[in-house]
């Protein structure tokens, strides 16, 4: 296909993928050619008659696979953001081939021999710090991928990797299908009593988009406790909605998860580790399973105690309504009632102050200008991959062009749940590229002509995901392997969590939190009460998070050779009870049936990363507010020492360069009320 847009670099600004030209039939030939080209490039490096040098081996490897990179980022972005049956079918076919391709590169003995020889004399090569780190990280990646295994070990490793890739693709598809099938429909708007008017209108628009006119449809978000539970007055409907959420995927993904956990355990032993968790954490900032276990264990007792105190309050409120026993589907509803009474906060009444466009431009973008001097210009003439996705050009403080930001904010049937950041083009001085990054959210699409009004949590998510975008946009590295978010998994959430602080900074909040009709600013006292109300709910939020993190940890600390779990639901119940987080009214934030993070999206044995990163986040937020520097000066230091460095320097070295010391857990405990 000579017209295949992936066969040559994009001619658009910033090498933005030419989405207007990309068709589904382009993907397979581009994957095939991309893999073939990279294997040929690797073979040439391995067969080079010249002795190995950093340039002819490490840099050559860094440059290889250009076609494969271009097609991969576009394809997996579409699979997540705007999938089709054809894309899903190709994902199932291509993922095992990509796993086999990765093995072909990492298990090439001649290529590894050259890397190994360079690594052995790395301190004699006169390399700059980033180049030395690239050599060390490349060598580590090959060793961790099995380069030192014997032939039998490598054969079995290839089999396992291929099977896991196929299972991961199946898990993604099953989750997508189960979430669609689990959507809850009602035949009358009155059934949705308690929901804000905008949410009722969104449910009608959702039904229309799904071809279910005359109904109102509540689609499932990717997490357990659906946001509507806080407002629906119909208790039976609340139960129906939460049950649909918690039960999805168990029948199809439960067995898949068990098989994947067993295969990961077997692979870990092949690679010299007792469990998959041990294998994963060895290359993260945590370092050991003991460190992760100690941190999670320290949080359980105070978090559960907090949740039990909250449950007593909620049970009393529920009893006043004649509810004899507080159930999981009651928690959010009565928590909202207690917050309204105790803190005089009605979260539904806050939505008119959080109109998407204003939050984006006068909140998220404004904060980026305040801290880093960035400015944003929408480029409607640039075509993204879906009509909802908007392209903005990003400029640095001196007016120089920095990169592109694509915002894709609305939910749709073709998009997976949740929120995330993708990097379509990495920044790199080696390749001469500047960053193109994407943020995806799942905000309900408003009816035609109506504004998109956000919940407090959706505002937080917008700021959070833009923190990932900043990590990509502000990258300043030589090698693409280190660009932006190419950092340890238990560090990657840190910059995004830090960026959440701007949503409540007085100068930022005052700039965006205004009534979308009257322009009236949100009263500062309301915000203070809202933050107090959030602290009140920390027990619930910490327990639901810990339950999910401990489920992930339990699946991935299973030893190799253990009997494969036959009943995922029974396994969950046992794990939560043994961990001390089996609070009946607080289900895990994710259950096995829809835990995409750990079974298909790269967070296996890594969901602990959110709270591990929050230790760094809490310290850094405190530093921003108390270091005595102006905001812009603090932002520039954070940018120079951490955001711009990507993976080119040890992650905790970056933290120490900002804070002046290592992190401590105290600020996190105070934030979550766990002291």
Catalytic residues: 465
Q: What is the DSSP letter of 112?
A: H
- CA gap 660, 362 in Å, rounded: 32
Q: State both tokens at 465.
A: 């995901």
Neighbours of 159 (CB within 10 A): 15
Is the distance from CB of 5 to CB of 21 less than 8 angstroms?
Answer: yes
With 0-12 CB in 10 A as exposed, 13-18 as middle and 19+ as buried, what is 529?
Answer: middle
Strand 436-443 to 390-395 pairing: unpaired
Residue 355, CB-side half-sphere exposure with 13 Å CA sphere:
16
For residue 214, what are the CA distances in angstroms to 196, 205, 206, 402, 446? 19, 10, 11, 47, 17
> Given strand 401-410, what is the order of strands in its sheet?
375-378, 390-395, 401-410, 436-443, 420-425
- CA gap 475, 427 in Å, rounded: 6
With 0-12 CB in 10 A as exposed, 13-18 as middle and 19+ as buried, what is 650?
Answer: middle
Residue 275, CB-side half-sphere exposure with 13 Å CA sphere:
18
- CA gap 55, 50 in Å, rounded: 11
Residue 422, helix vs strand vs coil? strand
Q: State both tokens at 310.
A: 């909250």
Residue 491: closest CA among 646, 622, 636: 646
Q: What is the DSSP string of 500-537?
A: GGGGG-HHHHHHH-B-TTT-PBPPHHHHHHHHHHHHHT
Is the distance from CB of 227 to CB of 455 less than 8 angstroms?
Answer: yes
For residue 59, what are the CA distances in angstroms to 134, 481, 563, 662, 673? 9, 11, 44, 33, 49
Beta bridge partners of 218: 184
State CA 59 to chain mean position distance. 29
- CA gap 641, 436 in Å, rounded: 22
Is the distance from CB of 654 to CB of 641 less than 8 angstroms?
Answer: yes
Q: What is the DSSP letter of 453?
A: B
Is the distance from CB of 352 to CB of 515 less than 8 angstroms?
Answer: yes
């Amino acid at each position: 296909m000579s017209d295949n847009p992936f066969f040559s670099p994009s001619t658009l600004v910033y090498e933005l993928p030419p989405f207007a030209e990309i068709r589904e039939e382009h993907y397979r030939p581009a994957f095939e050619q991309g893999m073939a080209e990279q294997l040929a490039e690797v073979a040439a490096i391995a067969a080079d008659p010249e002795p190995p040098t950093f340039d002819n081996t490490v840099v050559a490897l860094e440059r290889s696979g250009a076609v494969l990179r271009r097609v991969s980022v576009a394809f997996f972005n579409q699979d997540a953001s705007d999938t089709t049956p054809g894309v899903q079918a190709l994902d199932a076919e291509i993922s095992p081939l990509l796993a086999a391709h990765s093995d072909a590169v990492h298990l090439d003995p001649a290529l590894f021999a050259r890397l190994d020889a360079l690594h052995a004399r790395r301190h004699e090569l006169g390399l700059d710090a980033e180049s030395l780190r690239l050599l060390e990280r490349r060598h580590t990646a090959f060793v961790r991928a099995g380069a030192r295994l014997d032939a039998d070990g490598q054969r079995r490793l290839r089999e396992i990797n291929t099977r896991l890739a196929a299972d991961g693709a199946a898990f993604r598809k099953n989750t997508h299908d189960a979430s669609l099938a689990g959507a809850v429909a009602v035949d009358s708007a009155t059934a949705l009593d308690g929901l804000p008017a905008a949410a009722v209108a969104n449910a009608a628009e959702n039904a229309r988009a799904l071809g279910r006119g005359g109904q109102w449809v509540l689609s499932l978000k990717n997490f357990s406790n659906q946001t509507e539970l806080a407002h629906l007055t119909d208790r039976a409907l609340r139960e129906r909605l939460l049950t649909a959420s918690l039960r999805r995927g168990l029948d199809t993904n439960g067995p898949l998860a068990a098989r994947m956990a067993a295969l990961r355990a077997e692979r870990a032993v092949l690679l010299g580790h007792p469990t998959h968790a041990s294998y994963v954490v060895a290359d993260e900032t945590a370092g050991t399973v003991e460190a992760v276990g100690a941190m999670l264990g320290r949080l359980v007792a105070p978090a559960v105690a907090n949740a039990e105190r909250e449950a007593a309050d909620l049970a009393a409120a529920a009893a006043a309504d004649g509810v004899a026993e507080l159930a999981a589907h009651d928690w959010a509803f009565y928590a909202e009632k207690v917050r309204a009474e105790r803190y005089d906060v009605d979260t539904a009444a806050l939505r008119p102050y959080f109109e998407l466009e204003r939050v984006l431009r006068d909140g998220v973008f404004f904060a980026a200008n305040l801290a880093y001097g960035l400015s944003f210009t929408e480029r409607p003439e640039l075509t993204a991959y879906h009509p909802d996705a908007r392209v903005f050009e990003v400029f640095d403080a001196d007016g120089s062009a920095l990169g592109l930001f694509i915002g894709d904010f609305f939910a749709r049937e073709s998009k997976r749940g949740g929120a995330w950041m993708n990097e379509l083009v990495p920044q790199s001085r080696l390749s001469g590229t500047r960053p193109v990054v994407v943020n995806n959210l799942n905000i309900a699409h408003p009816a035609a002509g109506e504004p998109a009004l956000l919940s407090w949590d959706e505002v937080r998510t917008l700021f959070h995901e833009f923190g990932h975008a900043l990590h990509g946009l502000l990258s300043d590295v030589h090698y693409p392997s280190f660009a932006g978010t190419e950092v340890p998994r238990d560090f990657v959430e840190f910059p995004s969590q830090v960026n959440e602080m701007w949503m409540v900074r007085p100068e930022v909040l005052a700039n965006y939190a205004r009534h979308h009709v009257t322009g009236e600013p949100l009263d500062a006292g309301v915000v203070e009460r809202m933050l107090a109300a959030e602290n009140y709910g920390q027990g619930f939020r910490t327990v639901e998070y810990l339950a999910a993190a401990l489920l992930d940890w339990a699946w991935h600390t299973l030893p190799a050779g253990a009997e494969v779990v036959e009943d995922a639901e029974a396994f969950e119940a046992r794990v939560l009870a043994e961990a001390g987080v089996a609070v009946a009214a607080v289900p895990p934030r994710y259950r096995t049936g829809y835990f995409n993070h750990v079974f298909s999206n790269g967070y296996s044995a890594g969901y602990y990363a959110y709270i591990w990163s929050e230790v760094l986040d809490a310290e850094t937020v405190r530093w921003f507010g108390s270091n005595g520097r102006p905001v812009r000066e603090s932002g520039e230091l954070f940018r120079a020492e951490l955001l711009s460095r990507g993976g080119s320097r040890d992650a905790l070295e970056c933290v120490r360069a900002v804070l002046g010391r290592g992190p401590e857990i105290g600020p996190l405990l105070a934030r979550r009320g766990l002291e």
